[in-house]
Structures are given as structure tokens and as C-alpha cells.
Amino acid sequence: MLILGIESSCDETGLALYDTEQGLLTHALHSQIDMHAAYGGVVPELASRDHIRRALPLTQHVLEKAGKSLADVDGIAYTQGPGLSGALLVGTSIAESLAFSLNVPTIGVHHLEGHLLAPLLEPNPPAFPFVALLVSGGHTQLMRVSAIGDYELLGDTLDDAAGEAFDKTAKLLDLSYPGGPAVSKLANLGQPGTYQLPRPMLNSADLNFSFSGLKTAVLTLVNQHGNTLDDVARANIAHEFQEAVTEVLTKKCMAALRKTGLTQLIVSGGVGANTRLRERLNMVAKRRQYQVHYPRLEFCTDNGAMIAFAGAMRMQHAKQTDHSFTVRPRWDLAELTRP
């Protein structure tokens, strides 16, 4: 089957073509970062309007790049949730309209399932079961993944997600949007040991996370400097902040592998692109003879390829509908079942 995947849950418009025999044929992505940077964050109405402008041209682009036409498409997968309501409606309505005109089935994909399965697009994918760290601006979760649709939540954030803490720290340090890459870039210039920030829940008996206190500690540090907060201090704070986050994430991942008795870890989501996090995970995992798998950097953030792939894994069980639709801005991953 040739599956067209459409991602429009937030501020990136992603299209992709996945063939169940040949694999990923092509994908294209338009990021709205430059548009939202002026506001310091995503403006939902602007995001929705931009998806409308980009989705169909990107669809045509991936078809042409793969040497295919709409007539070759056997099914359409789209992000049904969670995400911004208006943004989700754009991708969903386009998907269902195209499917109606082509008389092909559709499948609504859970955005987080797309991220969880993204490493399976790589040349040497992990085999089930494995532990997954889903770490982004909206989520920080550890899960046991036994099969597609069989997900057990092991740990979750009690407040801020790790990516959210990166973004808020970036604002405190007067860095540009998006905050995660800006903090990481600045952290490379910092000197270790200058400051000492807390490692929230580092030694807790569970696998949960908490990052709001760390963000508050950064705020306190910034306020203590007042007008004396120069570039050197900013770099040192960014360095210590990144060390705190990555230490907590690494230790919790190792604890999850130990608790489950599994030996494979996958890391997905935007924060999964963080170089320091990958360094720490790879170093500790190698020492303990664990394997860590990541999606390629371009698939850490939102993209159409992961939606096309996740949809392809479920499409054979999709039911033909009248193409009426709804979106699910809030959608618990635990509600999913095996295809």
C-alpha cells in the first residue's frame, strides 16, 4: 500500500509517502518557526492559516518527488490529535476530502504514537519490546512498548515537560525562539561547575519527572544577578541547566530499563535531538550493555514521515467510513489498542 501521511498538529506542516514494501519514499516539511519567533511562541490562529497555505503544495511536491500521482495513493493517514484544534482540523479536513475524492480509506493517527514509532524508520530499528523516552515541549514520558498499540506508561512529568523547561529558561536568558536549540547552543560556551542547580526527583523511587522547580531555580539565579547578568553568566547558567535536565533524563531511563528488564531504549521527540542528552545516554548505556535508538534528527520534531508510517501499520485494519471527521486535541495514548 502507498500511504500519504499528513502532520499538522502544531507549527509544522509535514507530508510524506510511505510504501509498505519499499519503505519511506519521500517527505517534505515546512516549519513556521520564523513566523512565530516574533511572538515568542506558537500563535494557534496563525499556525492554522499557514497549514492551509502549505498542505496542498507540499502534497503535490512529495508526489512529484516520488514520481507518483494521487491516483497511486491507497490510503491517507493524518494526525487526529493531540494538538491545536484549528491546526488539527486543517490536516484532517484535507485528508478526508482527498480520501473521499479518491475513494480510499483514512486512518487518524495519535501524534505521540507517531513519535514513538519514528525510530522504526531507521535502517537498524529496535525490535519489540523496548522502553521509550518521549521527550518534547509538551511531554516527558517513559513507556514500555510491547507492540504497536501496546503501551504501558512507566513515568510521567508531574508539571512542566523537559522541552517546556528549555523554552522557559530560554526566555529567562533572553534567548530566541525556539528555546531548546538556543539554550543548547549557549550551553556549549558555558563553564562547568560555575553554578549548582537542583536535579528534581533524581533519586525518587519512581520513574516520574518534575521540571518546574528547576525552572524556578533558574529564575532565582537570574534575579540574583540583576543587571550584572552578562553573556558569560548566561552561558554558564545554560550549561548547568542542560546538565541538570540531561542527568535526570539519563538516570530515569536507566532505571526504567533496569525495572523492566529490557535492554533497548528509544528516544523520540524534539528534546531527543539534544546532543548532550545523546552523549550521556550513549555513554551510560554502553557501560551497561544497553542499546539506544534515535530517529534521525529531522524526525525528532514533528514530521509527516512518522504519521505515514504509523498509519501504514494500522491501515490494513482501517474501516471505510463516510469521511465525516472529528479531531482530538486531548487524547490519552493509553486509549490506543493493538491494530
**Cα angle 310, 312, 318; round to 5:** 105
Q: Is 180 annotated as a binding residue?
A: yes
Q: Is 160 annotated as a binding residue?
A: no
pTM: 0.95
Q: Is 150 annotated as a binding residue?
A: no
Retrieve residue 185's grid coordinates.
547552543
Residue 135 annotated as part of some ligand binding site: yes
Residue 319 has pLDDT above 80, yes or no: no
2-7 β-sheet, strand order: 23-31, 12-19, 2-7, 75-81, 106-110
The answer to whether the annotation marks 136 as part of a ligand binding site is: yes
* H-run or E-run covering 323: none
Query: Has 89 been labeled as part of a binding site?
Result: no
| 70/101 Cα distance (integer angstroms) | 10
Q: Looking at the predicted structure, is the pLDDT value of residue 318 above 80?
A: no
Q: Output the average pLDDT for the chain.
A: 96
* pLDDT value, residue 177: 87
Q: Encode pLDDT of 33-68 as tens digits.
A: 999 999 989 999 999 999 999 999 999 999 999 999
The predicted pLDDT at position 70 comes to 98
Q: Is 229 annotated as a binding residue?
A: no
The helix-helix angle for 275-287 and 179-187 (nearest 10°) equals: 70
Contact 190, 169 (CB under 8 A): no
Q: Do the annotations mark residue 302 as ligand-binding?
A: yes
pLDDT by residue (tens digit) across 88-115? Answer: 999 999 999 999 999 999 999 999 999 9
Share of the chain above pLDDT 70, in %: 100
Residue 326 scores a pLDDT above 80 = yes
Would the annotation count 262 as a binding residue?
no
- The stretch 129-137 carries a mean pLDDT of 96
DSSP 71: G
Q: Cα–Cα distance between 299 and 270 in angstroms, integer? A: 9
Q: How confident is the model at residue 137 (pLDDT cuts 50, 70, 90)?
A: confident
